[in-house]
Amino acid sequence: MNPTPTSVNPLLTAGPDATEDSVKEYVATELERVRARSFGLTTDVLDEAELTTQHSPLMSPLVWDLAHVGNYEELWLVRAAAGIEAMRPEIDDLYDAFEHPRNERPTLPLLGPDEATDYIGLVRRKVLDSLETVRLSPDAELLDQGFVYGMVVQHEHQHDETMLATHQLRNGDGALPSTDDLGPPSAPLPAGEAFVEGGPFVMGTSTDPWAYDNERPAHTVDVPSFWIDTTPVTNAAYRAFVEDGGYDQPRWWSPDGWRWRCESGKRGPAFWRREQGQWVRRRFGHVEPLPPDEPVQHVCWYEADAYARWAGKRLPTEAEWEKAASWDPVTRTKHRYPWGDEPPTAELANLGQVRYRPTAAGAYPAGASAYGVRQLLGDVWEWTSSDFTGHPGFCVFPYREYSEAFFGERYKVLRGGSWATDPVACRNTFRNWDYAIRRQVFVGFRCARDA
């Protein structure tokens, strides 16, 4: 199980007035916490054969991810931040995600599990030693308020979520502990939809110290009135679409979606199947009855879009999603999280790999947004109807391959994080993206409609 944050980022409580020592202490704590998570998904639970195997052509061997997060840390925290000479420049190419697509990586001369562990450990020691002398100066944009350290921490958490997707794609017995006895806080839902009145709101951020370039800058967007579901679409609701012949009727699908449906032969979400007249799913090596009240996950954008059409609705735009999550219509202010500005806790959202599954729709009433919309952060990523592109005034920082290289209609925006997303890498403005056909992500959706 992923250890939960033990401290709060002082930059979010004290802002620019946070002391350099307090920021460094927080950085060191979070670097250690995320590394414990990485080992808990790799060397702590799997043998060398499992770590070096490519379990799906969609994913890297887990040992590649493990060494990659260390190489990324060396590039940015040892070389760029501390100005220390390169340790292993000869492996930079092996762990450059743009140089080698995932299906090529098993053929590369990768570091083995022991060598990868030694390498990333040495990198980490150099980082922590140099952190004592590095100055988090506002004169250096990369170091201002510890941005580059936050970037590296978030990067490793994102790869840990990718590792969890690899675990889900593995054959054989599961290697992760059960968390099924953890019940979330819940309360009856007052309504199935929430009304969001039209008008301007502030989208994105210009002040969050560790926000990525694609979240910036803050800008005003005028959104017409709309309705949005108060919870993500559940397994039971999606099962009704499947059983109504939704995968057999092209009228519910976009032309590209119907082409995908016919060429792929898919007839339901990934990991679903029928056994002896009932629906079951495979989750981390275990087959279990399909939980009707959980948000559906492992559906691609085309499936989400088709369901929404069948239900007489549509997917929300990215701006609609962020307004429903972040805007307070009474105070006309923007919040970092749906419930306000205080950091996530176990009472507010299902985040951080505390559970290895979504929680039932309607959970976390204390985590609702000002509009009464629940589970906007955590549980499942949510598809939006929007293509991934930059906000007006977007500037690349610190490298174009994080965001700009993916701009365009090929990628759809996902919002909100999942149960596998760490709180450090989750906020109302955080943007994820993927191809419309991707299903291995812990992704679901909620619907919207015009008012």
Nearest of 444, 443, 446, 445 to residue 161 by alpha carbon: 443
Q: Which residues are 228's β-sheet partners?
A: 194, 448
Q: Is 124 helix (H, G, I), strand (E, B) or coil?
A: helix
What would the two tokens of residue 334 be?
């923007």
The b-or-e profile of 54-84 (16+ CB within 10 A means b, else e) is bbbeebbbbbbbbbbbbbbbbbbbbeebbee
> With left for phi above 0 and alpha for psi between -120 and 50, is residue 396 left, alpha or beta?
beta
Name residues whose C-beta falls within 8 Å of residue 334's C-beta, 6 or more positions apart in sequence. Answer: 201, 202, 218, 326, 327, 328, 428
DSSP 366-435: GG--TT-----SBSSEEEEEEEE-PPTT----S-TTTTGGG-EEEEEEEES--TTS-GGG--TT--EEEE
Give residue 7's pLDDT: 75
Give residue 4's pLDDT: 58
d(Cα 137, Cα 360) in Å, to the nearest integer?
Answer: 45
* CA dihedral (443, 52, 178, 157) positive or negative: negative
Nearest of 408, 400, 430 to residue 417 by alpha carbon: 430
Phi then psi for residue 220, to 5 deg, are: -90, 130
Angle at 296 between CA 290 and CA 298, to 5 degrees: 100
**Contact between residue 434 and residue 412 where contact means Cβ atoms under 8 Å apart:** yes
In this model, does residue 2 exceed pLDDT 70? no
d(Cα 430, Cα 208) in Å, to the nearest integer?
Answer: 11
What's the pLDDT tens digit per position in 87-137? 999 999 999 999 999 999 999 999 999 999 999 999 999 999 999 999 999
Percentage of the chain exceeding pLDDT 90: 93
- Cis before 338? omega within 30: no
d(Cα 175, Cα 408) in Å, to the nearest integer?
Answer: 37
pTM for the complete prediction? Answer: 0.97
Domains of the chain: 10-169 (1.20.120.450), 179-451 (3.90.1580.10)
**Contact between residue 354 and residue 1 where contact means Cβ atoms under 8 Å apart:** yes
In this model, does residue 370 exceed pLDDT 50? yes
Give residue 220's pLDDT: 98
Largest CA distance in the chain: 66
Higher pLDDT, 85 or 189: 85
Residue 356 pLDDT grade (very low, low, confident, very high; cuts 50, 70, 90): very high
Residue 15 pLDDT grade (very low, low, confident, very high; cuts 50, 70, 90): confident
Name residues whose C-beta falls within 8 Å of residue 326's C-beta, 6 or more positions apart in sequence. Answer: 201, 334, 335, 336, 338, 369, 428, 429
d(Cα 92, Cα 53) in Å, to the nearest integer?
Answer: 21
In this model, does residue 27 exceed pLDDT 90? yes
User: What is the side-by-side strand order in the sheet with 226-229?
Assistant: 193-196, 226-229, 448-450
Kind and range of the H or E run holding 252: none
Name the residue with tokens 């990628």.
411
Burial class (CB in 10 A: 0-12, 13-18, 19+), 99: exposed
Give the chain's radius of gyration (CA, Å): 22
Q: At what angle do helices 20-40 and 147-169 cross, to 10 degrees?
A: 10
What's the pLDDT tens digit per position in 173-212? 999 999 888 888 888 888 999 999 999 999 999 999 999 9
Percentage of the chain exceeding pLDDT 70: 99
Residue 6 pLDDT grade (very low, low, confident, very high; cuts 50, 70, 90): low
In this model, does residue 295 exceed pLDDT 90? yes
Q: Over the chain, what is the mean pLDDT?
A: 96
Altogether, the residues listed in the chain come to a count of 451
**Contact between residue 78 and residue 87 where contact means Cβ atoms under 8 Å apart:** yes
DSSP 146-159: GHHHHHHHHHHHHH
What's the pLDDT tens digit per position in 229-263? 999 999 999 999 999 999 999 999 999 999 999 99
Residue 3 pLDDT grade (very low, low, confident, very high; cuts 50, 70, 90): very low
Residue 153 pLDDT grade (very low, low, confident, very high; cuts 50, 70, 90): very high
Give residue 5's pLDDT: 62
Higher pLDDT, 117 or 172: 117
Give residue 187's pLDDT: 87
Name the residue with tokens 């944009």.
141
